[in-house]
A and B are shown apart, each in its own frame.
Chain A
Amino acid sequence: MGDMNIQAIEQYRSDFLKEVEERVEEGHWVKMCMQCGVCSGSCPFGPHWAHPPQEIFMMIRAGKREEVLSSDSMWMCTSCYNCVVRCPRQLPITQIMHGLATYAHRLGLAPRNQPTRDFSILFWENCTKTGRVNELKLTLGVYFREGLMAGIKKAWNMRNIGFGLLLTKRLNPFELFKGHACKDQKGIHAMLKKAQEIEARRHKLPA
């Protein structure tokens, strides 16, 4: 999707704020931040953020496009909503972080092998395939994302958990072959395809 990035750079020149406002979920809120920093201090994964939300908002205004979109900070959001309920300007920070991450991913600027990104994609694919999550495949998917050996190693480390869940009937080995699923999968897929088209249109994204 690199071409999409080039297209964006050309379309918005140096105006990264405008780009964010038009293309990122809830991006129009970024300008309302008053740099109090309450979000940055509220995040449970705060220490792991190279750039906390309030700083990211400032970077966006300062036009630091590459630093922001290639940062893995947004991917640290656990969706705990602490920042949202404390923000004195009522910015939907969780959604903005998700939105930025999503946008970065779509432009192909998100850091390679960002585990949360991979998991996010995996989860979406997993749950939309049949309309419901296949937890076993999902879990294995996470383990094996870095290849077979790594996967086996990880799975081995986590075997207690796996067995635990198996024994307590909270993990179903047969999901590997046939898991839970919606009946109208065709409808769901059509519906989602349509939704993606509309969204691209709304966010001025090249179809």
Chain B
Amino acid sequence: MAKKEYAFYPGCSSQLKASASNYLVSVNAMCKTLDVKLTTIPDWNCCGASISYAGAGELPRHVLNARNFALSEQHLPGQDIVATCAACWLGARETKEKLDASSQLLADTNEALKAAGLHYEGKAEIRHMVAVLIEDFGYAELGKPVVKPLEGLKFAGYVGCQTNRPFGIAGESFENPMYLDKLVETVGAEALTQYDQKVTCCGGALAFSETEKAMKQIKDIVESAYDHGADMIVTPCPLCQANVEVYQSEINKTHSTKFAMPVTYYSQLMTVAYGGTPKEAGLDGHIIKPTKLQEIAVKVVPKR
């Protein structure tokens, strides 16, 4: 497999000791196996996420993202920008589309960037890691390095919102995207394709400000995973992961449920299936331990 190189936009939550640091760990392991070289954009900044609007307004939000584009164009010319965080990708992609569509906005943006001594050409492509896996590799390729098929594990593929709408992964449907299920099957696990909360919103950032309302959403998401007999939930989004995992204890308190549904990242599944250690897969980063995945991860890898 030829080495593939991308400009990497990790985003705040993936940083060391941040809420999705284990996501980054597993992504790195996964990429190592796939022979993918991620070069972090130097001095990248926060995308502003979708929640910062009231303080940000429109242009400053775009300018924040454009700064990252400009830095990427400057230091990693010709490389696609890859984000692992759904919100980062969406924010960046949105800015990208907007600037492509409006020369006015592009001019304004560059006027502002000038203050930071930067200029955005409009060249950089913004892609989500999942899109890279599916489009640049394809399920068949992704299946090849599997040494430990996750046999017997049942996953509810929780896609959530922001990797799915309004842009989504090419060729997927908004209401019933299948890529996560396909990835699950690629690593030899069982995908619960009938799982009916796969695109339900977890409340996103409003989990902080409107916790009760968000918890109702999360309850549905977890409950349905149980109804469909899932061992674990798998997701491509750090905020979804955090919300759906950490609030289960709170839901248990208020609804006297006994939720303990592990919530994992696709990259962790792949890392384990590729023979990675629990540590490489960032399995230590879970409040609700994905024990069954752990068990497979600790199994000795049969010699290839």
> So, do A and B actually touch in the complex, CB under 8 Å?
yes
Instruction: Name A's B-contacting residues (CB within 8 A).
Output: 25, 44-45, 48, 76, 78-82, 84-85, 94, 98-99, 101-102, 105, 110, 115-121, 123-125, 127-128, 131-133, 135, 138-139, 142, 158, 160-161, 164-165, 167-172, 175, 180, 182-184, 187-188, 190-196, 198-199, 202
Question: B169 at interface (Cβ–Cβ under 8 A)?
Answer: no
Are A80 and B204 in contact, with the CB atoms below 8 A? yes
The one of B53, B111, B116, B200 that contacts A187, using a Cβ cutoff of 8 Å: B116
- Which A residues are in CB contact (< 8 Å) with B57? 25, 102, 196, 199
Grouping DSSP codes into helix (H, G, I), strand (E, B) and loop, the A interface class, with mixed when no group exceeds half, is helix
Are A199 and B201 in contact, with the CB atoms below 8 A? no
A to B CB contacts below 8 Å, 6 in the list: A45-B203, A121-B54, A123-B49, A127-B45, A164-B287, A196-B59
- Which A residues are in CB contact (< 8 Å) with B112? 191-192, 194-195, 198
- Which B residues are in CB contact (< 8 Å) with A138? 208
Are A45 and B213 in contact, with the CB atoms below 8 A? yes
Max chain A CB contacts within 10 Å: which of B17, B19, B20, B208?
Answer: B17
**Known contacts A135-B19, A165-B287; A202 and B108 CB within 8 A of each other:** yes
**Known contacts A44-B200, A44-B201; A170 and B19 CB within 8 A of each other:** yes
The one of A44, A160, A164, A202 that contacts B203, using a Cβ cutoff of 8 Å: A44
Smallest distance from the beta carbon of A160 to chain B beta carbons, Å?
5
Are B53 and A115 in contact, with the CB atoms below 8 A? no
- Which B residues are in CB contact (< 8 Å) with A78? 161, 201, 203-206, 214
Question: B115 at interface (Cβ–Cβ under 8 A)?
Answer: yes
| Distance in angstroms between the alpha carbons of A45 and B154 in the assembled complex | 29
Q: Which chain B residues in 58-115 approach chain A with CB under 8 Å?
A: 58-60, 62-64, 67, 108-109, 111-115
Q: Which chain B residues in 196-234 approach chain A with CB under 8 Å?
A: 200-201, 203-206, 208-210, 213-214, 217
Smallest distance from the beta carbon of A97 to chain B beta carbons, Å?
9
- Which A residues are in CB contact (< 8 Å) with B166? 81, 84-85, 94
Residue of B with least CB distance to A81? B165
Are B46 and A199 in contact, with the CB atoms below 8 A? no
Are B60 and A127 in contact, with the CB atoms below 8 A? no
Question: B250 at interface (Cβ–Cβ under 8 A)?
Answer: yes
The one of B18, B51, B203 that contacts A135, using a Cβ cutoff of 8 Å: B18
The one of B16, B21, B213, B285 that contacts A48, using a Cβ cutoff of 8 Å: B213
The one of B12, B20, B208 that contacts A119, using a Cβ cutoff of 8 Å: B208
The one of A25, A161, A165 that contacts B58, using a Cβ cutoff of 8 Å: A25
State which size class the interface on B falls in: 35 or more
Are B67 and A188 in contact, with the CB atoms below 8 A? yes
The one of B43, B113, B116, B246 that contacts A164, using a Cβ cutoff of 8 Å: B246
The one of A48, A131, A195 that contacts B45, using a Cβ cutoff of 8 Å: A131
- Which B residues are in CB contact (< 8 Å) with A171? 17, 19
| Distance in angstroms between the alpha carbons of A49 and B56 in the assembled complex | 23
Residue of B with least CB distance to A134? B12
| Per-residue interface assignment for chain B, residues 144 to 169, with 1 indicating a CB less than 8 Å from any chain A CB and 0 otherwise | 00000000000000000110011000
Are B46 and A98 in contact, with the CB atoms below 8 A? no
The one of B13, B48, B59, B214 that contacts A202, using a Cβ cutoff of 8 Å: B59
Question: B117 at interface (Cβ–Cβ under 8 A)?
Answer: yes
Residue of B with least CB distance to A190? B115
Smallest distance from the beta carbon of A99 to chain B beta carbons, Å?
7
Are B17 and A132 in contact, with the CB atoms below 8 A? no
Are B17 and A45 in contact, with the CB atoms below 8 A? no
**Known contacts A80-B165, A196-B57; A116 and B209 CB within 8 A of each other:** yes
12 other A-B residue contacts (CB within 8 Å) besides A127-B52, A192-B63: A44-B201, A45-B201, A78-B214, A81-B165, A132-B45, A165-B287, A180-B15, A180-B18, A192-B60, A194-B111, A198-B108, A199-B59
| Distance in angstroms between the alpha carbons of A161 and B246 in the assembled complex | 6
**Known contacts A44-B203, A170-B19, A187-B117; A116 and B67 CB within 8 A of each other:** no
Are A165 and B208 in contact, with the CB atoms below 8 A? no
- Which B residues are in CB contact (< 8 Å) with A128? 46, 55, 64
- Which B residues are in CB contact (< 8 Å) with A167? 287
| Distance in angstroms between the alpha carbons of A190 and B67 in the assembled complex | 12
| Per-residue interface assignment for chain B, residues 28 to 61, with 1 indicating a CB less than 8 Å from any chain A CB and 0 otherwise | 0000000000000001111011111111111110
**Known contacts A168-B284, A171-B19, A180-B15; A193 and B115 CB within 8 A of each other:** yes
| Distance in angstroms between the alpha carbons of A85 and B164 in the assembled complex | 10
Are A170 and B22 in contact, with the CB atoms below 8 A? yes
